[in-house]
């Protein structure tokens, strides 16, 4: 475990430039970094995470100077989004330069790039001065880590170091937008909302749900994701009523809610805060701690769509494998 002191950031940067794997905080979730220009280093990420090889990595940068080495051109819409939202929770998919190893992009001719808004991440990226490929630093399929302890829980012994920068602000992974075609396509909702994107660059097609039989534009969307070990149920409508009616069937029940109501005694209640932004920041952490409590089932309260609600719903529905009931 490393801290965010200059000395430790320098150690982490050295490990990365020598081909090691280093987990580091970002404003969204912790990333598992490797030198994006080193094919062997990137290869180690797959083994550590149990990651499918057809799922491309996002490349993280701290300065615009690196961009021409990574992408073939920067369309006007991309420039607009970078000016508005970088550093920040937005990944932009652009046509890639041939020099990027194939295992970074799963053989695609595009690459997702982002400049994270986190002081430790930016200092680390600047110190090593290389683009860093980094998926979320969890075992594939598990909820993404929003604390250094989550990273160690999944990856201890499989990586060279983790930089502990405390809790991540946003708590959900970045928005992914593809600008390689005629129209911008939203591949994953996140901290930068579709409303913000539309205001900046006009119409954005939304294509983030996996449609069976149609090759997904963003390979990551087809896998089971964000899933706790306990079966998870999304409850729409009368949340407290539903939980009170169904809790007695189980020994131990996990409850994720933004209501401060009373629940039956066998419920372990995780409150999500008052706003959707707090809901997002706490969600993954709550899913993980309910897993540690070995609950038999998790009932999670649904959220409104729109704004950050789109991203929360996307993660929540995947965690529940689309198991949705009406309360």
176 binding ligand TXA? (CB under 6 A) = yes
C-alpha closest to that of 255 among 273, 267, 241:
267
Q: Binding partner of residue 31 among Mg ion, ligand TXA, none, CB under 5 to 8 Å per kind?
A: ligand TXA
Whose structure tokens read 């930016």?
Answer: 122
Nearest-10 Cα torsion for 252, 245, 272, 186: 110
Query: Residues 301-320: x/- map of binding to Mg ion (CB under 5 A)?
Result: --------------------
Whose structure tokens read 């494998």?
Answer: 321
- The helix (H) or strand (E) run that includes residue 162 is strand 161-162
As given in the structure block, the two tokens for residue 175 are 């928005």
Rank residues 57 and 239 by Cβ distance to Mg ion and give the closer one: 57
For residue 110, what are the β-bridge partners?
A: 95
29 binding ligand TXA? (CB under 6 A) = yes
CB of 79 to Mg ion, least distance (A): 27
136 binding Mg ion? (CB under 5 A) = yes
- Under a CB-based contact definition with an 8 Å cutoff, are residues 133 and 104 in contact? yes
CB of 168 to Mg ion, least distance (A): 13
Per DSSP, the three-state class of 71 is: strand
175 binding Mg ion? (CB under 5 A) = no
90 binding ligand TXA? (CB under 6 A) = no
145 binding ligand TXA? (CB under 6 A) = no
Q: Binding partner of residue 196 among ligand TXA, Mg ion, none, CB under 5 to 8 Å per kind?
A: none
- Under a CB-based contact definition with an 8 Å cutoff, are residues 90 and 81 in contact? yes
Name the residues that contact ligand TXA, by CB under 6 A. Answer: 26, 28-29, 31, 55-58, 91, 93, 105, 108, 110-112, 114, 116, 134-136, 173-174, 176, 178, 187-188, 217-221
């Amino acid at each position: 475990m490393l801290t965010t002191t200059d000395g430790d950031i320098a150690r982490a940067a050295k490990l990365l430039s020598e081909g090691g794997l280093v987990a580091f905080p970002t404003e969204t979730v912790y990333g598992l970094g490797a030198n994006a220009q080193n094919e062997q280093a990137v290869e180690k990420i797959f083994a550590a995470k149990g990651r499918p090889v057809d799922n491309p990595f996002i490349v993280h940068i701290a300065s615009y100077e690196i961009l021409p080495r990574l992408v073939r051109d920067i369309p006007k819409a991309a420039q607009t989004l970078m000016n508005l939202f970088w550093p920040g929770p937005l990944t932009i998919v652009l046509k890639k330069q041939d020099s990027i190893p194939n295992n970074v992009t799963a053989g695609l001719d595009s690459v997702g790039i982002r400049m994270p808004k986190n002081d430790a991440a930016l200092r680390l990226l600047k110190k090593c001065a290389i683009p860093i490929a980094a998926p979320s630093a969890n075992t594939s399929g598990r909820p993404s880590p929003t604390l250094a302890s989550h990273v160690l829980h999944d990856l201890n012994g499989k990586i060279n170091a983790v930089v502990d920068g405390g809790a991540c602000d946003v708590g959900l992974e970045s928005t992914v937008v593809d600008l390689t075609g005629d129209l911008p396509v939203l591949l994953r909702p996140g901290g930068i909302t579709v409303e913000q994107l539309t205001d900046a660059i006009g119409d954005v097609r939304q294509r983030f749900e996996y449609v069976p039989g149609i090759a997904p534009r963003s390979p990551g969307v087809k896998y089971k994701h964000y899933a706790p070990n306990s079966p998870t149920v999304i409850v729409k409508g009368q949340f407290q009523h539903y939980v009170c009616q169904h809790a007695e069937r189980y020994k131990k029940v996990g409850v994720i809610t933004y209501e401060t109501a009373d629940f039956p005694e066998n419920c372990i209640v995780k409150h999500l805060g008052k706003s959707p932004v707090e809901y997002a920041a706490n969600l993954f952490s709550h899913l993980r701690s309910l897993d540690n409590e070995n609950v038999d089932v998790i009932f999670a309260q649904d959220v409104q769509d729109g704004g950050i609600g789109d991203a929360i719903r996307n993660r929540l529905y995947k965690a529940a494998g689309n198991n949705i009931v009406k309360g």
